[in-house]
Homo-oligomer: A and B are copies of this chain.
Amino acid sequence: MQTFILYMPNKENNSNKINIRDIAEKTGLSISTVSRVLNNKAKEYRIGKKSQEKIRKVARELNYVPNQFAANLKSGKSNTIALIVPSLNNPFFAEISSRINTEIRKHGYITIIGESDENPEIEKKELRQLVSRNIEGLIIVPCGNQWEHIDEIHNQGIPVVCIDRYFIDLDIPFVSTDNYKGAYMAAKYFIENGHHNIVCIQGVQESNTNKLRIEGFKEAMKESGINDFNIIGDNFTFQNGYLSTQLLLKQKNRPTAIFALSNTIAMGCMKAIKEAKLDIPENISLITFDDHPYLDFLATPLSCVVQPVEDISKVAVELLYTKLYDEEQNTSKILLKPTIKIRNSVKRLMD
């Protein structure tokens, strides 16, 4: 029985992806040489000028795109950084993500952004996913108080940087705003303007940023001899701001000022205040945490504590890179100074 061997017509068109071998064949050089040239290791390995040019030319002509998966498998380098934030739908985290994303690309790396949706279980799942992609670094806004899975990454020798929220006891570097100071400044500002009856509407109590803000708030109160302040609420949501404020407004002894620990909370406050036919700052004063362009255009432009978002992002990436390159056991814990932006939502009381 005779056997016919079938030749695949134009085999190289079989898969249109050009690889290093195709270039080697076209140039008559070896794949080693091609690899070295294309990785800019030509001088290191003393590849001749003409060979270099030939290789680069052919690579360009064939529109060669290296296969990162193969490269990573061999080299162990994934050129990938993971970023996990609670949600991109929150402008604060969206801005951070955007800045970190572009910053990281400058270094030739790529970012994979995961969202935890404030759910520790999702956070863990994301992290597993990302680890399987051999991430070389992790920047994370942890949600919740669970740190084991994050510490594990850290212990595997993968550089980790926490931003915004952090674990003070762990030796994982972080960069955040001095939340204590920010809240302190806001409270002081109220007091300087003659307010004594001040209420703070907080977010998630377990969150360490929330805790610190509360502490800063309390400290300012105590320093000024005000012992009769109030802290209510339990969530960084619109609902919480809305309901908490409704309750406040019904009180016999209505506060003269509200300190909302987030924009979402502040929006809830505004709605309740508006519905009660009251005015900011005439009837009640308001300061919020975090700035946003729209605050300028509100019925009453809102004064706020502003976090140095740009610096946080920059420093986070820098921190990551010193760990990545220098291998130094850098466990910097950095708190950046907030500022307070005065608009028009606090009334000056003179009694």
- Which A residues have a C-beta under 8 Å from some C-beta of B? 16, 65-70, 72-73, 78, 87-89, 91, 94-95, 97-98, 101-102, 105, 110-115, 117, 128-129, 131-134, 156-157, 238, 267, 270-271, 274, 292-294, 296-299
**C-alpha spacing A182/B20, complex, angstroms:** 50
A183 to chain B, nearest CB (A): 23
How many copies of the polypeptide does the oligomer hold? 2
Given contacts A69-B78, A88-B98, contact A270 B297 (CB under 8 A): yes
Query: How far, in whole Å, are A293 and B90 apart by their CA atoms in the complex?
Result: 12
The residue in chain B whose Cβ has the minimal distance to the Cβ of A16 is: B156
B residues less than 8 Å from A110 (CB atoms): 112, 129, 133
Given A68-B132, A267-B293, A298-B298: A101 and B73 interface contact (C-beta under 8 Å): no
Chain B residues with CB under 8 A of A131: 65
Residue of B nearest to A129 (CB): B110
Contacting pair A113 B115 (CB below 8 A):
no
**Nearest chain B CB to A327 CB, angstrom units:** 16
Q: Is the CB of B67 within 8 A of A73?
A: yes
Assess whether A87 is in contact with B91, with CB atoms less than 8 Å apart: no
Look across to chain B and name the residue whose beta carbon is closest to the beta carbon of A296: B271
Chain B residues in 8 Å Cβ range of A297 = 267, 270-271, 274, 298-299
Q: Name the residue on B nearest A99 (C-beta).
A: B89
Find chain B residues with CB under 8 A from A292 CB: 294
Whether the pair A88, B78 counts as a contact (CB closer than 8 A) is no
Q: Give me the 6 closest cross-chain CB pairs, A-B, nearest first.
A: A88-B98, A94-B94, A294-B294, A89-B98, A69-B72, A299-B299
* The one of B69, B91, B128, B274 that contacts A69, using a Cβ cutoff of 8 Å: B69
